[in-house]
Amino acid sequence: MSFHTIFFDLDGTLTDSAPGVLACVRYALDKLGVDPAGRDTAENFIGPPLMTSFTAQYAFDEAAARQAVAYYRERYSTVGLFENSVYPGVTNMLAALQQAGKQLVLATSKPEVFTLRILDHFDLRRYFVHVAAAALDGSRDEKIDVLRYGMALCGLTDGGGCAMVGDRATDILAGHACGMTGVGVLYGGGSRHELTDAGADLLAAGAGALTPLLLA
């Protein structure tokens, strides 16, 4: 198969954000006086929107979940977003795809203000023609909404010839809902079982393995 446009998730796909994300989750729970109870894991908090994760894991009502997100961002905006690193092979992979003429688009449920700072910090923004990210007010944070927004930025009305690359089931499911090929990475927050259950069309064990898959 041949792809003209490739959408990439950020956390767990391009960068290992788990140290910063989980530290901020624990900070928020501590401020609320809530015991993490072993549910403050990458699987639970890397990928889904924060409101969804806090509600699902701690049965917060909407007000408590919003307060948890506010506390989370209190630390994340100054410290947490840089407790992060680019996965080995990612930069070379993006450069190879760009050189091959592929249109690369970032599609993340992380708010745009943080996304752009991270991309600039790691000098990754230059690889992407568009950045589709969540809105701070929660109006666009589900992956399907972010992906549709990214398609609109590209002037695309369907996902034929596109791939969605990510580490969680939400990435695969959103990609399929938009008519894209779902490509799962096995080094992020999601497991092989999660990705195959979601119907991933292709799987990559490392960032370097993405290059031949996406250029095939």
List pLDDT tens digits, range 38-92: 999 988 998 888 999 999 999 999 999 999 999 999 999 999 999 999 999 999 9
Is the domain of 89 the same as that of 32? no
Is the domain of 55 the same as that of 142? no
**How far does CA 189 lie from the centroid of its chain?**
10
Strands annotated E in the chain: 5-8, 15-16, 85-86, 103-111, 130-134, 162-166, 181-185, 202-204
**Average pLDDT, integer, range 179-187:** 98
Is the domain of 105 the same as that of 207? yes
Residues identified as active-site: 9
Cα angle 8-22-205, degrees, rounded to a multiple of 5: 40
The last residue of a domain, from among 82, 101, 131: 82
Domain count, the chain: 2
Is the domain of 53 the same as that of 94? no
User: In 3-state terms, what secondary structure has residue 24?
Assistant: helix
The domain containing residue 138 runs over which residues? 5-16+85-215
Is the domain of 208 the same as that of 117? yes
Quote the CA–CA distance of 10 and 125 in Å, as a whole number: 11
Q: Is the pLDDT of residue 1 over 80?
A: no
Q: How many C-beta atoms surround the C-beta of residue 37 within 10 A?
A: 9
Specify whether the CB–CB gap between 194 and 171 falls below 8 A.
no
Strands annotated E in 1-153: 5-8, 15-16, 85-86, 103-111, 130-134
Is the domain of 121 the same as that of 49? no
- Summary mean pLDDT of the chain: 95
